[in-house]
Amino acid sequence: MSSQLIPLVAAIIAIGVAAQLLADRFEVPSIVFLLAAGIALGPEGMGVITDDSFASLPAIVGLSVAIIVFEGAFHLRIEKLRQATSESLRLITIGALVALVGTAAVVRFALGAGWGLAFLIGALLVATGPTVITPILSVVPVRDRVQAALETEGIVNDVTAAILAVVVFKTLRLDEPTLSAFLGLFIERFGGGVAIGLVVAGIVWLVLRYIDLSPGSAPQNARLVVLAGALVAFGAGETVASEAGVAAVATAGVVLGNLDLPYEEQISDFKGDITLIVLSFVFIALAALLELGDLLALGMGGVVVVLAIMFVIRPLLVYLSTVGGDFTRNERLFVGFVGPRGIIPASVATLFAIELQAAGNDEAATLLVGTVFLVILSTVVLQGGLARHIAEFLDVIPMRVLVIGGGQVGREVARRLEDRGENVVIIENDETVIEQAREAGFAVHIGDGTKIETLRSAGADNARTVVATTGDDEVNLLIGQLATTKLDTERVVCRVNDAENVEAFEELGVDTISSTLATAQAIDNAIERPAMARWARNIEEGGDVQEVTVKSEEFIGRPIREVGPELPGRCLIGLVTHDGETFVPDADYVLERGDHLTLIGDHDAVRDAMAVCRGD
């Protein structure tokens, strides 16, 4: 048996690695390829993997889930929760409740399941999970607030859905299932798991901080200590009560991820590699054991369940969770589309099915596994596979603007840029300034802006503009050098505090803003051009000046005299830039595709005109 098992496990891991490489190549979540590989290797395909291939599959799945949940929880940073504001909280409360009740109702009436089984399926399908969300976000770099909300929802709902499903399952197995019994089981598993996770996290932290791990191999030992801690937390939780281990390992991950651990970068890289291997193995193994007959047995009822979850329940819960928040309409549509289910529903449903079959309830086991895997397959393939295309269609992948320096100047620049819809990230390392910027509602990346690693981790590879606004010319000059030589950004703007340093900045080829010259220019405008100066000072109260590139087919090939009156409100075209030349256009100038227009007028009218010119 072992002679057959070893090459099988090796082949599964190799195929899993290949799936990861294909996912990176085609910018599609790896789970799409993992599921396809599993089905191809299973009884419905080549028959390489069968029900008898892994006698201890439940234990393997349990430990794998522990590593996967710990990995996701470890990356749940408190600073990201702050950026997500109220949307994350509502997604894991109101949204989870809508998903639970809505899914249970659809399963009950579309498939004719009893309410108990319907709520069990609903509890499992609350989870989205980092195993499916993280690969999507790696190829769809949305705004930080959207990313934080999706990551938080995935990690928290993974844990709560697993515990909730187990409690529902255990309650159904009781002779007299009651609400008080349900609440007692939930508190026992969740509370016990959290307590164990806190204890394990504390012990791991003490070991890493205060015990000599041998200087020569300390990073390796630190990685092993953290991995052992995750497995111990899960095992201890499962000893107390089944599925308390999920809460324990998630708690340990969140706590350790937000502590100042030594060798944190090496630990994170190591855990990521282990998680990829484990995830590949479990997904392929579970998908291989899926029987096509279980899916076909659902009939049209199964199709109704999938369509309702994807196009009714998910958009509804996202709408209720984000109404009145900071998400744009298109961001809400995108989040409403992205809700693939992952490893937690698949693994826990498989474990439940084994117990149900052992109890002689084959019909319930078939309905449970068939429904859960049908939803997983449909959401992973459609929502995961099409996520990048949907994001591009909805235009929710904005180029970033990095503002280095979160002082008064940096915050004012960030406020103006965000007001016109830019995706701004402030880079700062002063704790007081960081707190001020966060209180003002800005996304802040903590780090030294003069280091290329900091710039890249803040999103420099997807940045259109880098702005250096610190009060130190040497710092701004170094940032300008890094941005122009190491990064592929369209524009670099640097603040110059000493007018004598302007020449050094201009030699870099960056846009230079001298505080001295800008102040002198403002004074000159107040003397020689008072009307313009007054209007510019009061621009925040209703006026605006913006630039936009003409893309609308309705405007291309038409003269200014025809286009001007069609612009909304009190708005006019002040300047045109064509082939690098900027001028005031006459009425007969004919607009061409790619012309750059400077629009002047009322704030709302200018914003509406920009949308019209772009063809939105």
CB–CB of 16/280 below 8 Å? yes
Strand 400-404 relative to strand 423-428, pairing: parallel
State percent of the chain over pLDDT 70. Answer: 91
Helix (H, G, I), strand (E, B) or coil at 550: coil
Decide if pLDDT at 565 tops 50. yes
Domain covering 542-614: architecture? 2-Layer Sandwich (3.30)
Region 79-101 average pLDDT:
80
- Structure confidence at residue 539 as a pLDDT band (50, 70, 90): low
Domain regions of the chain by residue span:
2-56+66-188+262-394, 400-528, 542-614
Decide if pLDDT at 393 tops 90. no
Decide if pLDDT at 456 tops 60. yes
Decide if pLDDT at 217 tops 80. no
CB–CB of 118/107 below 8 Å? yes
Least confident stretch, 27-36, 243-252, 605-614? 27-36
Region 393-420 average pLDDT:
85
Q: Of 73, 15, 9, whose CA–CA distance to 344 is shortest?
A: 73
Report the chain's terminal Cα–Cα distance, integer Å. 62
What's the CATH number for 400-528?
Answer: 3.40.50.720
Region 562-579 average pLDDT:
86
Least confident stretch, 72-76, 213-217, 392-396? 213-217
Decide if pLDDT at 3 tops 70. no
What one-letter code names the amino acid at 311?
A: F
Region 434-461 average pLDDT:
84
Decide if pLDDT at 448 tops 60. yes
- For residue 104, the model assigns a pLDDT of 94
- For residue 111, the model assigns a pLDDT of 92
Decide if pLDDT at 288 tops 60. yes
Q: Of 416, 390, 381, 419, whose CA–CA distance to 331 is shortest?
A: 390
Decide if pLDDT at 84 tops 60. no
What's the CATH number for 2-56+66-188+262-394?
Answer: 1.20.1530.20
Beta-carbon contacts of 556 under 8 Å, excluding residues fewer than 6 positions away, are: 550, 591, 592, 593
Helix (H, G, I), strand (E, B) or coil at 38: helix
Decide if pLDDT at 422 tops 70. yes
For 339-367, write each residue's pLDDT tens digit: 888 778 887 887 788 778 878 888 888 89
CB burial string 378-409: b at 16+ within 10 A, e below: bbbbbbbbebbebbeebebbbebbbbbbbbeb
Cα torsion through 351, 357, 361, 363, rounded to 10: 80
CB–CB of 445/427 below 8 Å? yes
For 194-203, write each residue's pLDDT tens digit: 899 999 999 9
Decide if pLDDT at 145 tops 80. no
The helix or strand, by DSSP H or E, that contains position 402, with its residue range, turns out to be strand 400-404
- For residue 6, the model assigns a pLDDT of 75
Least confident stretch, 91-95, 226-230, 270-274, 587-591? 270-274
Decide if pLDDT at 478 tops 80. yes
- Structure confidence at residue 1 as a pLDDT band (50, 70, 90): very low
State percent of the chain over pLDDT 90. Answer: 13
- For residue 81, the model assigns a pLDDT of 61
- For residue 315, the model assigns a pLDDT of 94
**Most confidently modeled of 270-284, 411-425, 569-583?**
569-583
Mean pLDDT of the chain: 82
